A and B are shown apart, each in its own frame.
Chain A
Amino acid sequence: MKSVEVKAEQLSGRFSKFTQIHVAVAAIFGLVSLVLVNSQANHGLPMYLSVFMFFLTITLGGLFWVTIFHLTRSGWSVVVRRLFEHLMNRVGLMALLFIPIVLGLHGLYEWTHEAHVMHDHLLQVKAPYLNQPFFIVRSIVYFIVWFVLARGFFNDSTQQDINGDPLLTARSQKRSTYGILLYAITISFAGIDWIMTLTPHWYSTMFGVYIFAGAALSSLCMVSLLALFLRRNGFLSTVISVEHYHDLGKLIYGFVIFWAYIGFSQYFLIWYANIPEETMFYLSRNTAAWKAVSLMLVFGHFLVPFVLFMSRHMKRNRVIHACIAAWILLMHAIDMVWLVLPTFYPNGYMPTVLDIAIIIALAAAYGAAVWKGLDTVALFAHQDPRVDESMRFENV
């Protein structure tokens, strides 16, 4: 096989206007949210946390896949790795977006109310872990770990674009070994700290894995959509082939099942044991208006993609692939809402104008950061030692 000179691809400002619109939308709706927060009694924090978790899981999913690609020295993934790298590189933005949550701790977490904790034996026992200073220290540690890992991978990868040094790949592979351990611990604890402690009496040992399952799945869908969008606009069309979409599709399919497996395992043990402090989480989600949302997740997040995406032809058809990826992202958003909101509104909830402003502001901010990132470096790791192998990759 002859080795062909791989040509780099660059957006070169093609979407700069698009990015500017994103920035403007984020700024306007961010301001609208700020004004509404001050004028309305309903402060929209629960929705903010849901949307924050939606984008955080996509970001951390990107970090997971980059780590696992290096850990397994995977060849096929080289041409799509840069897209995952852009997602993981949004850790800095997510840290910035975490500030409102720190400011709104009292509005979100009941264990922060000292008067409340005084009359609650269980919360007193948990106080050495569940207290504000320790919570904030832990959150900072998570972000530092993610930031250092993500920066390391990103810098190695983009530096290699310039000098083509294969030792940078070796360095990333080395980083991935301890990186995956740090990642597993931090994402589990972050999920527990930020979401599970909303109901501080409730506990599930499965919870960290549940957050991880959503992260891995949503980032795959996001990368598929990004790649297909870029392809529509004439980028990467000779680089990312139907074989890569097929592989992304297989991973999406696998993680649809993984999510359901983890979700059901969590539910199943709690349902079987039937202990009040465990069942309370599902009680508020399986009754009243939230029951419809729970069923929607069972069907929409699992059964529909499970049946539709089973066939090889569906994974290889770009239009169907894009539709299913978008559908799963929507379901993942609903999943994040389902995790947070029933705790605050057990009888159902109608989004307010503030909620919608928050959703648009965060989505636009994240989008702007991704497009800005895409524009600054080459669209795929064209100097990677395995880029040739990746481009020639074929499913058997």
Chain B
Amino acid sequence: MSDNQSPLYGVMAAFDSPDSLIFASKSVVKAGYCKFDTYTPFPVHGIEKAMNLKPSPLPWLVLCGGLFGASAGFGLQTWVSIKGYALVISGKPLFSYQAFVPVTFELMILFSAFAAVFGMFAINKLPQFYHPVFTQKCFESVTTDGFFLMIECADPQFDLAAVHQLLEKQGGFNIVDVRDEG
């Protein structure tokens, strides 16, 4: 399937354990690469530190979602009770903020959850039906026992020979050039 005319996407290597993957990630960071990714069958603790990843912006998205939900819930109830349908209920003032708390609270939770779930999808660029790594037969083991690391050629200091050498030195095997056939 591999077609040499397709543009190069990156160089991928397999590793035999989470520990060697973490070790390799550290060396790749040390060598100055920033555009690379790792692929594992399960979450590997400590990999985000080894890859020198920035903290996720997701908490801020959730905070915004929560603030939006709370203010929307409180605002809607205020408008409905005071202007939209100004009904006196059990002799209480129209602006009975105590009664608004449960709905405000629930909408805050709802919108925080929306922000968390959909924000997570967006940050992870999901759903993704095609990725250049899918062209590699050996990559199928990523769902069982394969640990992969790929340095992408979008990296400013990408050099094919140097990358091959680095991955080999770190104990990577099945080193392949991944081409984007999409």
Contacts and interface: CB of A to CB of B under 8 A. Distances in A.
B101 interface: yes
B90 A268 contact: no
A264 B101 contact: yes
A74 interface: no
A272 B99 contact: yes
Determine the main DSSP class of B at the interface with A.
Answer: helix
Interface in B69-110: 90-91, 98-99, 101-102
B45 interface: yes
Interface size class of A (residues with CB under 8 A): under 10
Nearest to A273: B90
A214 B102 CA distance: 22
A267 B90 CA distance: 17
Contacts of A267: 98
A155 interface: no
Contacts of B45: 394, 396
Interface residues of B, number: 7
Interface string A255-276: 0000000001001100110100
Contacts, number: 13
Contacts of A268: 98, 101-102
Nearest to A396: B45
Interface in A113-138: none
Contacts of A264: 101
B101 A274 contact: no
B44 to A, nearest CB: 11
Contact of B98 (A271, A394, A396): A271
A394 B99 CA distance: 42
A264 B100 CA distance: 12
Contacts of B101: 264, 268
A170 B8 CA distance: 60
A267 B96 CA distance: 14
Contacts of A274: 90-91
13 contacts: A264-B101, A267-B98, A268-B98, A268-B101, A268-B102, A271-B98, A272-B90, A272-B98, A272-B99, A274-B90, A274-B91, A394-B45, A396-B45
**6 closest Cβ contacts across the A-B interface?**
A271-B98, A396-B45, A268-B98, A264-B101, A274-B90, A268-B101
Interface of A: 264, 267-268, 271-272, 274, 394, 396
